[in-house]
């Protein structure tokens, strides 16, 4: 069975260009995906098979079809999913804290990937699990899952071009003095650790922008925007400036008031890769972080 990845009608800009050039340059089809379509799918012009080096005329209708993907190796496990949006290209899911995104040696099952594969299988869809933005096990909030290879490639491009906007809310220990700022410190593995990260000159470039939303009794509520996507980036950066996240005992945060790092992926915005429509999603803080606000931010306006 085949599924449609791309369908477009050539316009004056496309006229005189080859099918390959238009697919790659205008629609972001990678060489790898083009090869897959050529040998495990079909590329047609006006309903007839076409070679990718043939030139287009205005009004030509081109369709790229590919064979359904081989069965995902992740075992399906039904679980409740908080799906905030879905179409043929993507899922937007609100992940609860405590849920691992993809199977690992320590978490071989019961992950978000297992649940999404079960959801697709129940609908008769054979797809691979492609998380666009990964969240740590104990970070809650919004995630994008691409439903096909082309969509995943488009989101990867957005991440490289920094047009996929990701905003987090976090509750940090202590009072952050500046109303806004940028932490620009490379991040790498800590000495003698395979898990813990630290800021270090020989690490990978990492940039986090922040602004203060509210100051409470020994805690600060922050909004943070990622410019890069290093492992544990927000957690490491906030510890590096003396304000570890509440509950983040891996990075010196205390667990007296919350049992996990107080970090939540609150907003996502991007231009849809197929429709070119701007999209934005927001997810309210979960109950444990709301409770932390009630405890340490008594003067914070309701609903803010």
How far is Cα 56 from Cα 75, in angstroms, rounded to an integer?
43
Which of 43, 48, 34, 35 has its CA nearest to residue 4? 43
169 by DSSP, 3-state: which? Answer: strand
Q: For residue 72, give every residue at least 6 positions away whose Cβ sits within 8 Å of its Cβ, in sequence order, or none.
A: 117, 126, 127, 128, 129
Which of 259, 234, 238, 240 has its CA nearest to residue 249? 259
How far is Cα 216 from Cα 298, in angstroms, rounded to an integer?
7
Q: Which of 14, 60, 136, 138 is catalytic?
A: 136
Q: Which spans in the chain are helix H?
A: 19-21, 31-39, 112-122, 149-161, 233-240, 287-296
139 by DSSP, 3-state: which? Answer: coil
CB distance 224 to 179 below 8 Å: no
Is residue 136 annotated as a catalytic residue, yes or no?
yes
Residue found under tokens 């099952």: 109
Active site residues per annotation: 136
């Amino acid at each position: 069975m085949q599924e449609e990845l791309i369908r477009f009608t050539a316009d004056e800009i496309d006229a005189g260009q080859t099918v390959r050039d238009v697919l790659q340059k205008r629609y972001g089809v990678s060489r790898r995906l083009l090869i897959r379509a050529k040998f495990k799918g079909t590329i047609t012009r006006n309903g007839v098979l076409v070679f990718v080096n043939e030139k287009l005329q205005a009004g030509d209708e081109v369709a790229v079809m590919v064979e359904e993907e081989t069965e995902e190796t992740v075992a399906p496990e039904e679980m409740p999913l908080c799906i905030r949006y879905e179409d043929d290209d993507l899922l937007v899911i609100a992940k609860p804290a405590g849920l691992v995104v993809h199977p690992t040696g320590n978490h071989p099952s019961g992950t978000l990937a297992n649940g999404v594969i079960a959801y697709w299988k129940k609908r008769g869809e054979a797809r691979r699990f492609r998380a666009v933005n990964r969240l740590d096990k104990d970070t809650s909030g919004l995630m994008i899952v691409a439903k096909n290879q082309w969509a995943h490639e488009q989101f990867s491009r957005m991440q490289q071009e920094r047009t996929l906007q990701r905003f987090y809310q976090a509750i940090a220990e202590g009072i952050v003095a500046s109303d806004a700022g940028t932490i620009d410190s490379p991040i790498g593995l800590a000495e003698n650790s395979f898990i813990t990260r630290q800021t270090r000159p020989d690490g990978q470039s990492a940039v986090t922008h922040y602004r203060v939303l509210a100051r409470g009794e020994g805690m600060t509520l922050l909004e943070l925007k990622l410019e890069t996507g290093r492992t544990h980036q927000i957690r490491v950066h906030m510890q590096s400036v003396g304000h570890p996240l509440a509950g983040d005992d891996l990075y010196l945060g205390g667990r007296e008031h919350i049992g996990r790092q107080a970090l939540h992926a609150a907003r996502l915005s991007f231009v849809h890769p197929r429709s070119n429509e701007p999209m934005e999603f927001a997810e309210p803080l979960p109950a444990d972080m709301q409770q932390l606000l009630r405890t340490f931010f008594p003067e914070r306006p309701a609903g803010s």
